[in-house]
Amino acid sequence: MDLLLDGVKQAFILIFTGDSLVVEATLRSLQTSGSAVLISLLLGVPLGLLLALARFPGRNLIVAIINAGMGLPPVVVGLVVAILLWRSGIFGFLGLMYTVAAMVIAQVIIALPLVVGLTLTAIQQLNPKLRLQALALGASKSQMLVMLVKEAKLTMLAAVIAGFGAIISEVGAVLMVGGNISGQTRVLTTAIVEQVGRGDFSRALALSFILLAITFTATYALTLYQQKGVGVWRRTS
Amino acid sequence: MAPHLVVKNLTKRYSSRPVLDIDELTIDKEEVLAVIGPNGSGKSTLLRLIAHLEKPDGGSIEFAGGNGVKDGFGIRRRLAVVFQESLLFTGTVFDNIAYGLRVRKTARGEVKKRVGEAAEVFGISHLLERPSNLLSGGEAQRTSLARAFVLEPELLLLDEPMASLDPPTKESLLADLNDVLEKMKATVIYVTHELTEAMILADRCAFIEGGRIIQVGTPQEVMASPVNRKVADFVGVENILKGRIAGSSDGLTRVKVNGSEIEVINHVSSTEKVWVLIRPENVTITLEESGNTSARNRFSGIVKNTLDLGVLHRVVVDCGFPMVVFVTKRSVEEMSLQAGKRVWISFKATGVHVISREGERV
């Protein structure tokens, strides 16, 4: 218990004194996971829409792969990305190993199936006639797709929450492809592992509290946005 | 005047099953055409094809003054569709009514003005700020109609917009819609399986069955002179009797029904086997055989049963053939009409409609 209380105390001290390791790891975690979520959304939402609306040979196979991908072990993703980006690997010439870009790639691979799968489910749960209704009121195909995304917003925000939560808290993949290099690729989770290895539990706890606080704050903000206007309106008559 | 819309040789199949085969259907500008028919007759498919929401397998759908616009999007911008379900989007009533204007990039001030006007017309001005998921069925359908009317489209396609409403809500919306259609002079195709809606709203009716147009005419024509038994059944002719032409003289045709002869005016068909159609409201019941009547057909019979329908009673009289008659509650009481009572029924030769049985699948 003393260790926990000491950890909380340490966390406040480290945060308010602007400890360089804490600031660096926090900012890099936000940068890496934020970029990965954004890229996953940019790729995943159109792909989810395509899978929900189009019928083509091999579609069911892709859906099955996406569903399986939702439970991908991050450490396996890290291993595969590491093999591909290794100097002798297929993409070794890019020189991305042990960079933030490599960590973003690994995190996108983890988050993408969640975004695609939840977008697909969200769109398929909508009344299919909504599409016809939008077109029948003069919407172009792209305007109709925007309408569908708006209608599926609640479930798709769940995808963002799930994706962000999954990647900011994972350690296996980023450690393998990032290497936890101080000043370059150290993020909160890898820093925690490092501090535990050194026996500095106070610092490890402080970093863990910060990680928890970030995860909770991001999730809370997204939840507030998601729930905005849901069930708060009351009839006046 | 050239028709506003011409549908020709339109065909559609689902898998290999033919669902639509329309030789020709036209609609004039400012006309309300009701497409009526039983469930599964192809009427909603016809509407989706006209709306360019589905592609036909063959045939053409042409708008007057199309200016060469052939693509689905270009044509859909000239029309608006209201479906049976209100299909409102997330957002307020205002957002919903504004949807079609916003996708057309209408200026914000213009959107506000037109949405306000459309809401006023459909009596939902007080609901503009209400989220769409908190509307009653009637309010939601009024919003859906306002969302289509606000676009002032060249063609409005209404696909059973009243079908999921309860009777009082439907009655009130039907009356309002009738007023709106009269004021706005809109060109409308109104799909329904409710004859009353067609009678109230439409200038013309097209009866569709098995994907084919069976009869086109004013609602009154279709009601009074259905072209075959299916239309007759649909438009509520309760007395459909199997008969044979017995002969003609002085402009009257005699039709033999179960040994009795019914006189019909000017039946010109050469066919022998016919259906004799008599609407229940055209038949009168008396307790004595009255000689002082112009009704050419008088039969004695026994009341089989009576059914209380509220203001009216449905009385079935067996006069060698069953005859359904609608009688007011007061007359039933005054005449003591009950099962077993001997009565006379009479109806005019002009109140009988005869159609051929030849070649008809019955």
pLDDT value of position B68:
52
Residues B153, B156: Cα–Cα separation, whole Å: 6
Treating both helix axes as pointing N-terminal to C-terminal, what angle do A129-136 and A141-151 enclose, rounded to 10 degrees? 130
**Under CATH, which number does the domain B5-230 receive?**
3.40.50.300
- Give the Cα separation of B53 and B11 in Å (integer): 15
The closest alpha carbon to B291, from B254, B344, B342, B249, belongs to B344
For residue A233, the chain B residues in CB contact (below 8 A) are 130-131, 134
Q: Do B100 and A129 touch (CB under 8 A)?
A: no
Q: How many CB atoms lie within 10 A of CB B250?
A: 5
Token duo for residue A138: 């003069």
Residues in contact with A233: Cβ distance below 8 Å, sequence separation at least 6, in sequence order: B130, B131, B134
DSSP A3-22: HHHHHHHHHHHHHHTT-HHH
Check CB contact under 8 Å for A135 and B76.
yes
> Rounded CA gap, A47 and A63, in Å?
10
Instruction: Tell me whether domains B5-230 and B237-356 share a fold.
Output: no
Q: What ipTM score was computed for the predicted complex, to two decimals?
A: 0.77
B219's CB contacts (< 8 A; 6+ apart) are: B34, B195, B198, B199, B202, B204, B205
Domain annotation for chain A: domains and CATH numbers? 2-227 (1.10.3720.10)
Q: What span, in angstroms and rounded, lies between the C-alpha atoms of A136 and A143?
A: 12
Per-residue confidence band for B109, with pLDDT thresholds at 50, 70 and 90: very high
pLDDT for A83 beyond 50: yes
Which one is the CATH code of B237-356: 3.40.50.1110, 2.60.120.10, 3.30.420.40, 2.40.50.100? 2.40.50.100
Task: Estimate the crossing angle of helix A153-168 against helix A20-53, to 10 degrees.
Answer: 140
Confidence of residue B150 (pLDDT cuts 50, 70, 90): very high
On chain A, the residues whose CB falls within 8 A of the CB of B150 are: none
Per-residue pLDDT of A9-57, as tens digits, reads: 877 787 788 888 888 888 999 999 999 999 999 999 999 999 999 989 9
Residue B52: closest C-alpha in chain A:
A136
Q: Is residue A130 classed as helix, strand or coil in its secondary structure?
A: helix
Cα–Cα distance between B42 and B359 in angstroms, integer?
23
Bigger pLDDT: B169 vs A126: A126
Domain-wise residue ranges, chain B: 5-230, 237-356
- Cα–Cα distance between B352 and B362 in angstroms, integer? 20
What is the side-by-side strand order in the sheet with B352-356?
B260-265, B252-257, B239-249, B273-278, B352-356
Q: Tell me which residue in A130, A139, A151 faces B103 most closely, judged by beta carbons.
A: A139
Q: CA-nearest residue of chain B to A127? A: B87
Q: Is B186 helix (H, G, I), strand (E, B) or coil?
A: coil
User: Does residue A35 sit in helix, strand or coil?
Assistant: helix
For A132, nearest residue in chain B (alpha carbons):
B53
Q: B324-354 burial by CB neighbour count: b if 16+ within 10 A, else e? A: bbbbeeeebeebebeeebebbbbbbbebbbb
The predicted structure's pLDDT at residue A235: 44
Identify all chain A residues contacting B51, using CB atoms and an 8 Å cutoff: 136
**Top-confidence range, B221-230, B289-298, B327-336:** B327-336
Q: Which of A133, A138, A140 is opposite residue B87, by nearest beta carbon?
A: A133
